[in-house]
Chains A and B, each alone.
Chain A
Amino acid sequence: MSISPIITFKAGLCNLNTATDPPRVKPLPEPGYIYLYSEDSEDGLVHFCWRQRSASLDNPGLKLVMVPGDGSFTPYKATSSQTPSNPNKPTNGRIYVLKFSSSSQRHLFWLQSRSQHESSDPAWFSARDLKLGQIVNTLLQGEDIDVQQAIANLPNDQNGPDRDDDDATMEDVEGQNHDADHHRGGSGGAGPDATGGDVREEGQEAREGGADGGRAATTGSTDASSIIQNFLKSMEGSKAGQSNPQGNLFTTLADLLTPASTIPLIDSADESVIDRFLEFLPPTLLALAQEIDDAAAVSTDALSADAAKQAIGLEQKKDILRRVLRSPQFSQSLSSLTVALRDGGLPSISEALSIPVTNGGFMRRGGVPLGGGDAVEAFLNGVKEHVKSNSQAKK
């Protein structure tokens, strides 16, 4: 028999542990697809299936024959434009629940495609995500729907395919404890026999939202910071893969980003570039710098103080950046990030910063991340290639 799925999209299974209160959702890392089809030989009943990506269509891990109207496929405690600040967020991913009116059976799934949210809130259901779920739900109701057309009308993917094919991963985050083990799934298209597939880019590593000991997330790359924050925390106390004297020493970020190298960057930058840099710093710095200057201005002649304030807009911003680049806090962060790279953090870091590196930061054989000086070198090379391809694009 040949199975022609009506709709296919990337999703993973979840375990729901109802023994605890609140119930605990645990996403299973295996990359997979949800797909629905109806068999002509049966009375047009819809088959709701889940299979591993590597499995064939007629070998699903889960297959449910759905009576029309019995099943529903809805977002589980979702964060979306309808509930943007969801206080009941169960996880840092997008979960759908398949429920039955005929029984209390429930199946939870997590979307494995990339989050569409602007700042990549991994729990955010985009319009596209919601619509996808609605299509499935409609099919389960037994309603007539031109799936092909509905899929064609799905809101578009905001973020273009500019990265390596990576699956979304997720950590179960009910409560405080979380699994700091970042799962990495294999990639793979929807397969030649999938129709109506979700052609979106595979999603990225899921992020931990603000669960890092209460430190404020920053503007700019909020999620990059969270990933790395958690990675660093998970490394505290472990000196795995530390200095390896026989290997490639290479250099450190601190030795590369000395004030001698960074200050000229600030000096030569124009206002738009400076403003962009400032987005990666705490916004309070600007206000504080203003305060310092105000205090100083009090003692000078009123007229010239005002004029000074107007004129030093850009210069003041540059001053802030220069001060930051010379600060002990910045130096410490450079050291910290260097150690993180050396200790196997290259895959997470390069991904979080959207800087592609060879093999995604892994060694050619096996899923072991690069370490030591090699990792730092690979990182720098990634930056260089990124910069080069960007300037090509500009031309």
Chain B
Amino acid sequence: MSEDASAGGWSTIESDEGVFTFLIEQLGVKDIQFEELVQLDSDSIRALSPVYGVIFLFKYIGSSTTSTSNPQDGTFDPAAVDSDAGFFFAAQTIQNACGTQAILSIILNNDPSNPSLQPSSTINIGQELRSFKDFTRGFPSELLGEALSNSSLIRETHNSFARSSPFANETQQDPAARTEDVFHFIGYTVRNDILYELDGLQPYPISHGPCTTDEFADKIIPVLLKRTSRYPPEEVRFNLMAVCRDLRIKAQEIGDVEALARQKRKRTAWEWENALRRHNFVGFIGEMLKGVVELKLEHGGEAEYQRWVEEAKKTTEKRMTESQARRKGEAGDEMQE
């Protein structure tokens, strides 16, 4: 699993719009945010415009394309990177970095080097990422992937958003963790008026045909629907996020006070979550435990204390038996197949 940060390891981070937004902000990107899309329709995407792309997170069930000839949908475009020096396509080398990698694949392809964008609409990727992009110009995708995973700036920023607990799933015996599903991130964006799918596990960018930035909101929908239809519905867990311009700016521009207030509140909530995420709760837990024990003893003496502990023990036991039963049941099903 993840190693000590200083030794070059990447931690897992949540795929959360607040986490992603703060992450790129820390990297120096200006005025960009992530917004989760709860509905897959073009109006929802258009409402957020300018949209620079979407990040699609899904459960990865193994490479369905072992051959390098055809992807399942769309076509490989090996020439894309060759003819366009500013096209950023990196091979994925580290599993835990895949979210950050997908984010960067959208951000770095929508800087001023993208001819599909009006100069005033391009993303200001900030000085550090600009240097990174300049330094790696012309790198083949594997080397680019290496450079990305070796970048201490990117890795350390990524790791600073790691979950407060590396063991969150183990004690709770989360079934999702049991099956060791691997989650994967893919970016979709428009560049050179083509709709591209950028997947670090594929050898090349995948083209889904001609598309302008205005058409993106419409053309992306069938592409994503086709993608989600590949999976058995009961096994799909996916999450879609739009990369768009800071919505506070938009609200301000059109004088929408209500929207501005809403966006501000959202940011404050993100900061709240982030503060908790980074916090080490050990001392606080100690205080809570002491406080509750004291309260129980004061309230009803030893008897109440014991009642409290017994109830907790029952809950733990119940969960244990339930999950064991569930596992047996599932194992049974698998064996029958």
Binding site for B on A (CB under 8 A): 176-177, 211-218, 220-221, 224-226, 228-229, 232-234, 236-237, 239, 242, 249-258, 261-262, 264-265, 268-269, 273, 276-277, 280-282, 284-285, 288-289, 291-292, 295, 298-299, 324-325, 327, 329-340, 349, 352-353, 355, 380, 383-384, 386-388, 391
Binds A, one of B133-141, B195-203, B304-312: B304-312
The one of A250, A336, A352 in contact with B165, judged by C-beta atoms closer than 8 angstroms, is A336
Q: Which residue of A lies closest to B170 (CB)?
A: A339
In this assembly, does B115 line the interface, its C-beta being within 8 Å of a C-beta of chain A? no
Q: List 28 A-B contacts (CB under 8 A).
A: A214-B160, A215-B280, A221-B283, A225-B282, A234-B4, A236-B2, A237-B3, A249-B316, A253-B289, A257-B285, A261-B308, A262-B291, A262-B292, A264-B295, A265-B291, A277-B288, A277-B291, A285-B272, A298-B261, A299-B261, A330-B281, A331-B168, A332-B163, A336-B164, A340-B167, A353-B282, A380-B293, A383-B286
Asked if B6 and A176 make an inter-chain contact with CB atoms under 8 angstroms apart, the answer reads yes
The one of B166, B265, B275 in contact with A232, judged by C-beta atoms closer than 8 angstroms, is B166
Interface residue SS majority, chain A: helix
The one of B278, B282, B284, B289 in contact with A352, judged by C-beta atoms closer than 8 angstroms, is B282
In this assembly, does B279 line the interface, its C-beta being within 8 Å of a C-beta of chain A? yes
The one of B3, B166, B272 in contact with A336, judged by C-beta atoms closer than 8 angstroms, is B166
The one of A284, A334, A349 in contact with B271, judged by C-beta atoms closer than 8 angstroms, is A284
Asked if B295 and A217 make an inter-chain contact with CB atoms under 8 angstroms apart, the answer reads no
The one of B5, B271, B293, B308 in contact with A383, judged by C-beta atoms closer than 8 angstroms, is B293
Asked if B316 and A339 make an inter-chain contact with CB atoms under 8 angstroms apart, the answer reads no
Contacts A224-B283, A228-B280, A251-B309 given; does A262 touch B261 at CB 8 Å: no
Asked if A295 and B3 make an inter-chain contact with CB atoms under 8 angstroms apart, the answer reads no
| Cα distance A218–B287 in the bound complex, in angstroms | 14
Give chain B nearest CB distance to A245 CB in angstroms.
8
Q: Which residue of B lies closest to A223 (CB)?
A: B283
Which chain A positions have C-beta within 8 A of B287? 276-277, 280
Asked if A265 and B164 make an inter-chain contact with CB atoms under 8 angstroms apart, the answer reads no
Asked if A236 and B313 make an inter-chain contact with CB atoms under 8 angstroms apart, the answer reads no
In this assembly, does B325 line the interface, its C-beta being within 8 Å of a C-beta of chain A? no
In this assembly, does B171 line the interface, its C-beta being within 8 Å of a C-beta of chain A? yes
| Cα distance A261–B166 in the bound complex, in angstroms | 25
Asked if B172 and A249 make an inter-chain contact with CB atoms under 8 angstroms apart, the answer reads no
Q: Which residue of A lies closest to B264 (CB)?
A: A295
| Cα distance A170–B164 in the bound complex, in angstroms | 26
Contacting residues of chain B (134-173) with chain A, CB-CB under 8 angstroms = 156, 159-160, 162-168, 170-172
Give chain A nearest CB distance to B302 CB in angstroms.
9
| Cα distance A218–B275 in the bound complex, in angstroms | 11
Contacts A215-B160, A252-B171, A285-B272 given; does A325 touch B288 at CB 8 Å: yes
Binding site for A on B (CB under 8 A): 1-6, 156, 159-160, 162-168, 170-172, 261, 264-265, 268-269, 271-273, 275-295, 297-298, 305, 308-309, 312-313, 315-317, 320
Asked if A334 and B305 make an inter-chain contact with CB atoms under 8 angstroms apart, the answer reads no
| Cα distance A256–B289 in the bound complex, in angstroms | 8
Contacts A229-B280, A339-B171 given; does A253 touch B285 at CB 8 Å: yes
Asked if A335 and B290 make an inter-chain contact with CB atoms under 8 angstroms apart, the answer reads no
The one of B171, B276, B288 in contact with A265, judged by C-beta atoms closer than 8 angstroms, is B288
Which chain A positions have C-beta within 8 A of B278? 215-216, 282
Asked if B313 and A251 make an inter-chain contact with CB atoms under 8 angstroms apart, the answer reads yes
Which chain A positions have C-beta within 8 A of B277? 329
Q: Which residue of A lies closest to B281 (CB)?
A: A333
Asked if B171 and A338 make an inter-chain contact with CB atoms under 8 angstroms apart, the answer reads yes
Interface residue SS majority, chain B: helix
Which chain A positions have C-beta within 8 A of B312? 251-252, 255-256, 258
Contacts A213-B160, A285-B272 given; does A254 touch B1 at CB 8 Å: no
The one of B167, B273, B320 in contact with A329, judged by C-beta atoms closer than 8 angstroms, is B273
Asked if B308 and A391 make an inter-chain contact with CB atoms under 8 angstroms apart, the answer reads no
Which chain A positions have C-beta within 8 A of B2? 236-237
Give chain A nearest CB distance to B299 CB in angstroms.
9
Asked if A237 and B1 make an inter-chain contact with CB atoms under 8 angstroms apart, the answer reads yes
Which chain A positions have C-beta within 8 A of B271? 284, 288
Give chain A nearest CB distance to B303 CB in angstroms.
14
Give chain A nearest CB distance to B295 CB in angstroms.
5
Give chain A nearest CB distance to B212 CB in angstroms.
38
The one of A234, A339, A388 in contact with B167, judged by C-beta atoms closer than 8 angstroms, is A339
Contacts A268-B295, A336-B167 given; does A282 touch B279 at CB 8 Å: yes
Asked if B170 and A333 make an inter-chain contact with CB atoms under 8 angstroms apart, the answer reads no
The one of B275, B292, B298 in contact with A256, judged by C-beta atoms closer than 8 angstroms, is B292
The one of A229, A269, A295, A340 in contact with B261, judged by C-beta atoms closer than 8 angstroms, is A295
| Cα distance A136–B308 in the bound complex, in angstroms | 56
Which chain B positions have C-beta within 8 A of A177? 6
Which chain B positions have C-beta within 8 A of A324? 276, 284
Which chain B positions have C-beta within 8 A of A249? 313, 316-317, 320
| Cα distance A250–B309 in the bound complex, in angstroms | 9
Which chain B positions have C-beta within 8 A of A330? 276, 281, 284
Give chain A nearest CB distance to B293 CB in angstroms.
5
